[in-house]
Structure 1
């Protein structure tokens, strides 16, 4: 029988996890009132009351220290591992995904919590009541869930489920499609764009969309993300279903930018709030314990999603990627390698002295030979080395050649250097690559120290890091994503590149306003990439190739090349027909 019949005792579990993380497995632990206050984030009075409860329930034995210098001791009445195993089995049996997600974030060893029983509850199921539900996981806390400042892939994808834009880009046809706006047009002088809105589009809270919502949303962009609409002077709405944008200069790319996350339309009366995201999108937002539920919006103007609910829970990384499975069906899997339309790279921090040495930047490029890393560390997935920001462009270009001889010559030209500080996202594959580069550089007399960071850390030119290793994943519109990556202030290109380089980049990106063709915009990307790569301010390394697994009874579940599952298309089907 589980010792947590009424559900997890969170203060007890938090205490066990904190002491285990600090001291390991012991028969008893030394602790102070300050320790308990910090772990529980409670007042002295509440801490003492909680401790008394745990003693009364027979879960702990507490011996207070008497006199100066005497340490209090605490011991537990049950062995931890079998207790956790019993708890996780019971929570998995109850399908208590939120409580399991919360438990996984405590500092217990990952394998003690994320057992096979636990991992199996994250997938897709058809309930007896006929509700089709996808339950999946996110391995970190969300950053911003405000469309204006969202910069990470997961958050942008979630926002696109809840909100809609005036336009929508279809990567399959590479065309811009109507969305909340059914038509649009531009004046002869190119300075006024007019968008005609669909009628009868409901928000999740019941009110109907009109031009005032669109005007308020775009004016909000002007105030909070002016970089997206740099030429916008005024937003007018002289009709309930018509909005006009007056520009300072012609901008042929404007309708494409209005499909960006930052330009999603929010209701004028309910600003975005992680506890209450309200839009016109295909799914409604509902916070859960340890996660969030997206419920199909029956009244969505483009049609109801096929799946009923999507639940996403924040957990520690699983021992293997979760398989989207069908409850009650045999645990079959279909595996397939899939390229992610994004790129991994090193970027120098122009705010630190080391970045000012062209010879040093070039030397690190010569040392960071991604093919050599793949071969020496026997990486288990295919390598697609990056010659460009996008896989389709990398395939058409010869791989850059690295040379140990050039590395030695460049390091000699750079002269003696203090240790370089390399920050890397706390992900197993990225950390392995960073540490390999550090070992390789040491063989050439260059010291590189590796430090971990996460997406919540504030990074500026003043950050004590010479180099950052990270990845950038594209949105469905690659040409818009390229422009956004180099313009959005929350992203590292804008934060870390030299100001004179950014000025040159901005000059090149101005051509986006006038380019009327795909080839014209590709030429802009060519010039900007050359500017960044030839100066070794950025070193593109590889495009990630992932192996995805899914139960064969699921339909339309494969993520697209941008790593996103189309929740609207997902459905539970029968056996495939030959």
Structure 2
């Protein structure tokens, strides 16, 4: 507490880096700075003097100012306090100190480097067996962790570690494997799907999984009006037969239902927990702590599968630590860091070209010149996909003309022409009307927005940038003509593409006009009744509608990167390009033999 008072006084009195030089002040000034009474000010000053941080010489007589001398620079104080907090495992307080201190940019960078070093693997010496802990940082806030409303890739990834589904899509073999159900079957016309549950599966609150929980999960999606309901519109009822058999009855044949049973929206939740901010599942990790600062996952000893080798995963949210690369760092506590690895160097890395792409969505819910096809054609030329990759680089690795890189590779993607874009604006009788371009304040999106702005100015397009701290859909719908966004598909890319084109709660569903929605729905009508090959052709037809009408502009496919230490083993890339933490383990080469 005294140190915080020291920071506040040193910063306010313009003497943060020049200790030893007396400053003339009055008790009244200090009282105002510290937001306390003059009596409490004197108490605080005595405490600081006892710690040999300051010298205080009160003024004698009317008109004589007091003298305050600082003995330590604030940078030294901050760094010492920061290291003390880290040594005690007080990560939250250390992060708060970086945020709130008067540290300059150089010190903040130094503290951030040290904080990053403190992330990674830790072995808890308090336990005879040792608890293996992995700490990570995220440069963004945590969104809602509810399977009914999962939206972003990171939250979907976490839910996949906490919850389980009836079946699992195996991307390597392109087939479905048993999950919470050990087997399943359907009737001859695919209108009834029955799943037989494993016995003895426990939830994180120690309850046993039964068919009642499966039925409750589906009913909960309906009650909460989940965005997932596009795939349940033909569901008539769910029936249970005893504790371990559950059947789904459908109005029409559905060859796609295993995809639905494997999707994250169908993560099975216990019927007896009720509404909770913290998800309770049957997955390899359980949520033991969740707030705006940290998400803590601990291994679930009663997991029905193979228990994780890591005991605890801490994910710290620190907006000032925004970056495009994921870092999985390893360190030991008992041996010097350098014996394991250099913290400024990573011995290996993973490149993960993700399915999906970045795109520009056109908001037909707002009136404006972007309704004119010539203006959208001009925007297509303005955003030159080859040029943005050549000039900006980063995670952009391939021009996109589809959500799937495989389809983009098949297509001839022409280069954009600024001259053609200018001519198209003239054909549209464009008269300088503003076109609002919304984007989040991620590094690459900000680069892209500035790049597009410069090109727009060169052809006379009045592009107005609209940075977003978060993508609140109401703000975007009301104020943005264009939105720069990104879609990363699940391992089950077929489900991911159908969710993108059929989900009326995402940006495409919200921003299309009624005629566009009708055309898209017609293209995908009765798609669940089709074979895999027929479904794929329908998906391509829907994507062609979006592409040819310029309802959205595909921009670039993205290459997700992860930097790793060679001490981190069991590396298996899971959904959305994140490492599967349930399979990670650390080879502690610094351990001493006994």
Mark yes or no: TM-score above 0.5.
yes
Which of the pair has more CA radius of gyration? 2
Q: After superposition, what is the alpha-carbon deviation per residue over 1:304-350, rounded to whole angstroms, capped at 9, x for unaligned? A: 11222111110124376434223241325213433233311111111
Which range moved further: 129-138 or 345-354?
129-138
Structure 1 311/246 Cα, relative in aligned 2: closer, same or farther at 3 Å? same
Residues 206 and 139 of structure 1: is their aligned pair in 2 closer, same or farther, counting only changes over 3 Å?
same
Instruction: Give the equivalent residue in structure 2 for 1:216.
Output: 216
Q: Which residue of 1 aligns with 2:400?
A: 386
Distance 2:194 2:585 in 1: 37
**Structure 2 counterpart of 1:406:** 420
Find out whether 1:120 has 2:134 as its counterpart.
no
What is the deviation of 1:300? Answer: 1.0
Instruction: Classify the secondary structure of the residue corresponding to 1:267.
Output: coil
SS at match of 2:286: strand
Cα contact 2:394–2:444 (8 A) shared by 1:
no
Q: Cα deviation per residue 1:347-397 (whole Å; 9 max; x = unaligned)? A: 1111112231111111111101132233334x3556211121022332333
2:543 is aligned with 1:529:
yes
Q: Name the Cα RMSD after superposition.
A: 3.6
Q: What residue ranges of structure 1 are gaps of 5+ in the alignment?
A: 29-35, 62-73
Matched residues in 2 for 1:216 and 1:176: separation?
Answer: 23
| Counterpart-to-counterpart distance in 2, 1:504 and 1:47 | 70
User: Does structure 1 residue 305 correspond to structure 2 residue 308?
Assistant: yes
2:491 to 472, 476, 493: 476
Uncovered stretches (5+) of structure 2, i.e. residues with no partner = 24-30, 56-67, 590-594
Question: 1:326 aligns to what?
Answer: 331
Q: Provide the residue aligned with 2:592 in structure 1.
A: none
Cα separation, 2, equivalents of 1:50 and 1:396: 74
SS at 1:89 equivalent: helix
Gap change, CA 1:165 and 1:352, over 3 Å in 2: same
- Residue 386 of structure 2: aligned partner: 371
2:91 to 90, 94, 97: 97
- Go from structure 1 to structure 2 and tell me whether the alpha carbon gap of 1:424 and 1:110 turns closer, same or farther (over 3 Å shift): farther
TM-score when normalising by structure 2:
0.82
SS in 2 for 1:120: helix
Aligned residues: 541
Give the corresponding residue for 1:434.
449
Following the alignment from structure 1 to structure 2, what is the Cα–Cα distance between the partners of residues 117 and 214? 46
Q: Answer with 79-88 or 129-138: which moved more.
A: 79-88
Match of 1:293 in 2: 296
What is residue 71 of structure 1 aligned with on the other side?
Answer: none
SS at match of 2:255: coil
1:141 aligns with 2:141: yes
Matches of 1:160 and 1:17 in 2, distance apart? 48
Q: Per the alignment, in what secondary structure is the counterpart of residue 447 of structure 2?
A: helix
Residue equivalent to 1:175: 175
Taking the aligned partners of 2:213 and 2:415, their CA distance within structure 1 comes to: 53
Contact 1:306–1:570, Cα closer than 8 Å, also in 2 = yes
Secondary structure of the residue that 1:298 maps to in structure 2? coil
* Distance in 2 (alpha carbons) for counterparts of 1:101 and 1:490: 36
Q: Does 1:572 align with 2:572?
A: no
Shift of 1:78: 6.4
| Inter-partner Cα distance in structure 1 for 2:6 and 2:503 | 44
**Hey, what does 2:79 align to over in structure 1?**
85
Q: Distance in 1 between matches of 2:37 and 2:155?
A: 36
Following superposition, the deviation at residue 99 of structure 1 comes to: 2.7
SS, match of residue 148 in structure 1: helix
* Aligned-residue offset at 1:117: 1.1
Alignment of 1:260-271 (within 5 A): 260-271=263-274
Which stretch shifts more, 111-120 or 235-244? 111-120
Deviation at 1:281, TM superposition (A): 1.0
Partners of 2:303 and 2:539 lie apart in 1 by 36
CA distance in structure 2 between the aligned counterparts of 1:16 and 1:430, rounded to whole angstroms: 39
State whether residues 434 and 463 of structure 2, in contact with CA within 8 Å, keep that contact through their aligned partners in structure 1: yes
Contact 2:572–2:583 (CA<8 Å) still a contact in 1? no
Superposition map of 1:438-517 within 5 A = 438-455=453-470, 457-459=472-474, 462-517=477-532
Question: 1:78–1:207: structure 2 CA closer, same or farther, 3 Å change rule?
Answer: same
Q: Map 1:193-272 onto structure 2 (within 5 A).
A: 193-224=193-224, 225=226, 226-271=229-274
8 Å CA contact 2:400, 2:556 repeated in 1: yes
Task: Measure the CA separation in 2 of the matches of 1:319 and 1:393.
Answer: 32
Relative to structure 1, is the Cα distance of residues 402 and 326 closer, same or farther in structure 2, using a 3 angstrom cutoff? same
Which residue of the partner structure matches residue 31 of structure 1?
none
Match of 2:130 in 1: 130
Return the offset for 1:524.
Answer: 2.1
Report the CA distance shift for 1:295/1:443 in structure 2 as closer, same or farther (over 3 A).
same
Equivalent position to 2:439, from 412, 424, 428: 424
Q: CA deviation at 1:539?
A: 0.8
Whether the 8 Å CA contact 1:165–1:260 is kept in 2: the answer is yes
| TM-score of the two chains, using structure 1 as the length reference | 0.84
Deviation at 1:291, TM superposition (A): 0.7
Which of 393, 396, 401 is residue 410 of structure 2 equivalent to?
A: 396
Q: CA deviation at 1:56?
A: 7.0
CA distance in 1, matches of 2:267, 2:114: 39
Aligned to 1:33: none
In 2, Cα distance between the equivalents of 1:467 and 1:193? Answer: 42
How far residue 170 of structure 1 moved from its aligned partner, in angstroms, is 1.3
- Partner SS state of residue 268, structure 1: coil
Q: Is 1:282–2:284 an aligned residue pair?
A: yes
- Which secondary structure state, in structure 1, belongs to the residue aligned with residue 247 of structure 2? strand
User: Residue 215 of structure 1: SS of its match in structure 2?
Assistant: helix
CA displacement 1:437-493 (0-9 Å, x = unmatched)? 011011101111112113352336742111101111111111111112233454212
Q: Deviations over 1:134-158 (max 9, x none)?
A: 1112221122211111101111111
